Amino acid sequence: MTLNLSKPILYLITRGATDETTTTESTEFHQVLLQVSTAVAAGIPLLQIREKRLTPRVLFELATRAAGIARETGSRVLINDRADIAAGSGAAGVHLTTHSLPAAVIRKNFGDEFLIGSSTHSLVEAQAAKDGGADFIVFGPIFESTSKQQYGPPLGVDALSVLVREVRPLPVLALGGVSVNNAKDCLGAGASGIAGISLFGNLESLEVVTAEIRES
């Protein structure tokens, strides 16, 4: 699938506040749906349901409802890791981690219209995702980020610039410590857009944040 979206592409990733005890009646379940609704209203084109600890049944219900919210809008919902749940729920596609099945396997089994995003932390991983048929990649951490410390020290804007050139024309979204203040640096380095968890986590300021990044 061609990711035909205007730049900068914004990619909201949910916080992962749910767990195996979450049900469809839980507050945190409905908070994810509220975040999806708010993001769709703000015109954010890509949203990832990153709720890794949910039971498959509850994740499927969450994915189905989130996909329903985005349907007939310009927003597309992706499900973290679970391509089967993404396809069954009507979501647009899947977001692959470094521990997921390769993009090539997903593309072969789910077809050309299935949207595939992939997390990468090196040029080798980025090239593998491109060769496997990913529609876009997320690269990071670019800056210092508490949630991304397990992936090592920040890679920096210079590494981002090099990677963008190497995998062009594959869209690269910058992730990790990106803020309204430094998003311009990432876009100036050639990133097609910005991905974020905490960056898009405050629903009250979400519309303002998206507008400021688009004006960067």
174 lies in some domain: yes
Q: Is the predicted pLDDT of residue 174 greater than 70, yes or no?
A: yes
1 lies in some domain: no
pLDDT in the model for residue 24: 98
88 lies in some domain: yes
Give the pLDDT mean for 42-61. 98
The label of the residue with tokens 């100036």 reads 188
Could you give the count of Cα atoms lying within 13 Å of 109 in the half-sphere of its Cβ? 13
The percent of residues in the chain predicted with pLDDT above 90, rounded, is 93
Give the pLDDT mean for 79-94. 98
Summarize pLDDT for 95-112 with one digit per residue, the tens.
Answer: 999 999 999 999 999 999
Q: Is the predicted pLDDT of residue 43 greater than 60, yes or no?
A: yes
CATH of the domain at 62: 3.20.20.70
pLDDT band at 216 (very low <50, low <70, confident <90, very high): confident
Give the pLDDT mean for 127-139. 98
pLDDT in the model for residue 208: 96
Range of the domain at 176: 9-214
**How high is the mean pLDDT of the chain?**
95
152 lies in some domain: yes
pLDDT in the model for residue 144: 85
Give the pLDDT mean for 36-45. 98
Give the pLDDT mean for 65-91. 98
pLDDT in the model for residue 209: 97
pLDDT in the model for residue 198: 95
4 lies in some domain: no
Give the pLDDT mean for 135-147. 90
pLDDT in the model for residue 3: 80
Tell me how far apart the alpha carbons of residues 159 and 58 are, in angstroms, rounded to a whole number.
38
3 lies in some domain: no
205 lies in some domain: yes
**Distance of alpha carbon 211 from the chain centroid:** 18
65 lies in some domain: yes
Quick check: 11 and 213 in contact, CB under 8 A? no
pLDDT in the model for residue 145: 74
Both tokens of residue 205? Answer: 């300021």
Taking residue 71's Cβ as centre, other Cβ atoms within 10 Å add up to 14
Q: Left, alpha or beta for 43 (phi > 0: left; psi -120 to 50: alpha)?
A: left
Q: Domains in the chain: how many in total?
A: 1
Tell me how far apart the alpha carbons of residues 78 and 95 are, in angstroms, rounded to a whole number.
6
